[in-house]
Amino acid sequence: MANDILVFGELTEEGRLAPITFELLGAARRLAPALGGRVLCAILGAGLDGHSQEAIVQGADVVLLADDPALQEYQGDAYVPVLERLVREKGPAVVLLGQTIIGRDLAPRLAARLGTAVAMDSVEVEVQDGRVLVTRPCYGGNARARYSFNTSPVIATLRAKSQEPLERDDSRQGEVERVAVNVDAAGVRTRVLGRVKQKAEGVRLEDARVVVSGGRGLGGPEGFQQLEELAELLGGAVGASRAACDLGWYPVSAQVGLTGKVVTPDLYIAVGISGASQHMAGISQVKNIVAINKDPEANIFKASRWAVVADWKEVLPVLIKKVRELKEAEARR
Amino acid sequence: MALHIICCVKQVPDPETPASQFRVDEAAKKVIPAPGIAPVPSQFDTIGVEAALRIRDALGDVKISVVSMGPDSFRDAIKHCLAMGADDGYLINDPALHEADHWVTAQVLAAAIQKLAPFDLVITGRQAVDWDMGVVGPTLAELLGIPCVTIAKDVKVQDGKVVVERVLLDGFETVEAPLPAVVTVSNELGEPRYPQLRQIMMAARKQVTVWTAADLGLDPAQLQNRVNVEALYIPETKVETEFIEGDTVEEKVDRLLQRLREAKLI
């Protein structure tokens, strides 16, 4: 219906509904009263039976299942037409997707095919005087822009962790609708030849409660060994700025920032990171940032709760030693 | 026949501008250029030119055209790409298009690309580093009706196909698409080469072809923005920073750990 909100339900590689889907459902649920519509959740994939109830208890009124082996893995040429047809049939006012590897590819193409526009990497969607407004960071996070739309539906991708998911409510009821999928094999022009995984060992960066990150100020790859030592003591993960990754000092999969990962640990320790806005975009939700940098004017300090103005080479060995002593003392107790 | 690669580039305020010098005119909804800091080509776009040059390094017979849409000052971005090694530059400069949103921009660039046909590959940055939208590349693919591979870390042309390593969250996938295609590139591809003085001087002498909307067969009155910027502002940061004092590193570390323990963070 013309005032519904359609959420694109994304799956993890393991085939479960991804956390971003619950965040989108939360955002949609909060938006629904102002629009007077329902929350639809479209899930595309293969073997989707278990997911409907999960989407419903997290806020969906109607789950649309496009279940087909041709949708097993994301391929733009397969997903775009299926989602396009669903949106045309259901006619929602708003379509929400995650700002993920898939959303970045899918949302602009969907918008182009539907003859409408998309706001990418948004952090807020609201209704004011009957108009949908979308707010998103721009200029590498230095500024924010609020957009209105001249075309319908409004499409927006939302940044990971910018929205709170709802409390799971097992008593929630909803409908499940299986939709016919006819993927035109000839229309899928791209072909995936292979995948290479670069999974880090230990705690996943996105899930870590403590993240220790290094930047250009480390001066070389060696410093990351100390960050790994500290992260391990704290039960955390190691991240890196784009500058450090581009220099080849640390794997790209650990990159935190606008073009890397968004992290939300309880504690973020930034070592030798100047705080370029592109990096800050990846930690904008973090409340407790410790920055260690010898430049007292470093931008990172503005966002930090605790600032240590010193050479990291002097600080880290002492910090590691004292944290180890603390942890050992705790273990003895 | 030579392979023809078209790279789309944009000129942006220098993203390395210190945050303290970043200003916004909230009434005009525009960024105020920081005094003394020259605009630069959007870095992902020069990485796109780098990707094209690497294809030429590998294959030899490759023509690289650079297309940009913007005011006359965008010439500098095109010249930079010519100095990197691109062959021809095209600027679509039409006052009627200066407020174009990403949809109108894609429409105009698609028309320019079609005017430059035949072409084999269109390369754009994954996003421009001013608005960070990341929409023009995929929209071009839809308007041109050709395949699209986003966020590439490696781009090769082999046997009439483009073979792309596409960045994933924890690794990458190799994707193949028939030509012509659109590829958007990311920083993982590597640093764009820096022009040598001799190349800069040669590029300075090259002509940049300037087109208006009419030259592309477009009527600006028919090109309606699909989004409006209602507000542009600098978000408030509400963090109170405590500078950890101490005469020695030991003292500073002790005090920091005390704070972290008080806040139950370690």
Q: How many CB pairs under 8 A join A and B?
A: 239
CA angle in degrees (0–180, nearest 5) for A8-A137-A236: 75
| DSSP β-bridge partners for residue A290 | A269, A306
What whole-number distance in Å separates Cα of residue A217 and Cα of residue A136? 30
Instruction: Give yes or no for a contact between B70 and B10, defined as CB atoms under 8 angstroms apart.
Output: yes
The neighbour count for residue A194, using CB atoms within 10 Å, is: 9
Q: In this predicted complex, what is the ipTM? A: 0.94
Nearest to A145 among B102, B225, B231 (CB): B231
Check the CA dihedral A217-A220-A222-A228 and report its sign. positive
pLDDT tens-place string over residues B54-109: 999 999 999 999 999 999 999 999 999 999 999 999 999 999 999 999 999 999 99
Give me the torsion for CA of A226, A228, A231, A236, rounded to 10°: 170
- The pLDDT value recorded for residue A200 is 62
Instruction: Give yes or no for a contact between A63 and A175, defined as CB atoms under 8 angstroms apart.
Output: yes
Nearest to B19 among A109, A266, A299 (CB): A299
User: Alpha helix locations (H) across chain A?
Assistant: 19-35, 51-57, 76-90, 101-114, 223-233, 242-246, 277-280, 312-332
For tokens 């040669």, the residue is B202
Nearest to B266 among A196, A234, A303 (CB): A234
Record: contact B252-A299, CB cut-off 8 A: no
Q: Is B172 part of the contact surface with chain A (CB cutoff 8 Å)?
A: yes
Determine if the peptide bond prior to B118 is cis (ω within 30°).
Answer: yes
pLDDT tens-place string over residues B109-127: 999 999 999 999 999 999 9
Residue type, position B131, single letter: W
Q: How far is B1 from chain A (nearest CA, A)?
A: 23
The length of chain A in residues reads: 333
Interface of A with B in 123-152 (CB under 8 A): 133, 136-140, 142-151
Secondary structure letter of residue B26 according to DSSP: T
- The pLDDT value recorded for residue A199 is 66
Residues in chain B within 8 Å Cβ distance of A137? 132, 235
For tokens 């046997």, the residue is B159
| DSSP β-bridge partners for residue A138 | A143
- The pLDDT value recorded for residue A197 is 86
Instruction: Give yes or no for a contact between A21 and A168, defined as CB atoms under 8 angstroms apart.
Output: no
Instruction: Give yes or no for a contact between B252 and A315, defined as CB atoms under 8 angstroms apart.
Output: yes
Instruction: Give yes or no for a contact between A70 and A183, defined as CB atoms under 8 angstroms apart.
Output: yes
- Closest chain A residue to B172, measured at CA: A196
Collect the ranges in chain A with pLDDT lower than 50. Answer: none
Distance between first and last Cα of chain B: 64
Nearest to A306 among B106, B226, B244 (CB): B244
**Three-state DSSP class for residue B247:** coil
For the segment(s) A5-187, the CATH number from 3.40.50.620, 3.30.70.2740, 3.40.1010.20, 3.40.190.10 is 3.40.50.620
What does DSSP say about strands B208-211 and A267-271: parallel, antiparallel, or unpaired?
A: unpaired
CA B8 to chain centre: 8
CA B246 to chain centre: 45
Residues in chain B within 8 Å Cβ distance of A100? 169
* Predicted TM-score (pTM) of this structure: 0.92
Determine if the peptide bond prior to A69 is cis (ω within 30°).
Answer: no
Task: Confirm whether A5-187 and A210-332 share one CATH topology.
Answer: yes
- The pLDDT value recorded for residue B49 is 98
Spans of all domains in chain A: 5-187, 210-332
Q: Which helix (H) or strand (E) holds B115?
A: helix B102-115
What domains can be seen in chain B, in order of their start residue? Answer: 3-222 (3.40.50.620), 236-266 (no CATH)
Which CATH class name applies to A210-332? Answer: alpha beta
pLDDT tens-place string over residues A210-268: 999 999 999 999 999 999 999 999 999 999 999 999 999 999 999 999 888 989 999 99
Q: Which helix (H) or strand (E) holds B107?
A: helix B102-115
The neighbour count for residue A321, using CB atoms within 10 Å, is: 12
CA B29 to chain centre: 21
- Is the pLDDT at B187 greater than 70? The verdict is yes
Chain-wide mean pLDDT for chain B? 95
| Residue of B126, B116, B226 whose CA lies nearest to B182 | B126
Residue of B164, B253, B255, B262 best to disrupt the A interface, most CBs of A under 10 A: B253
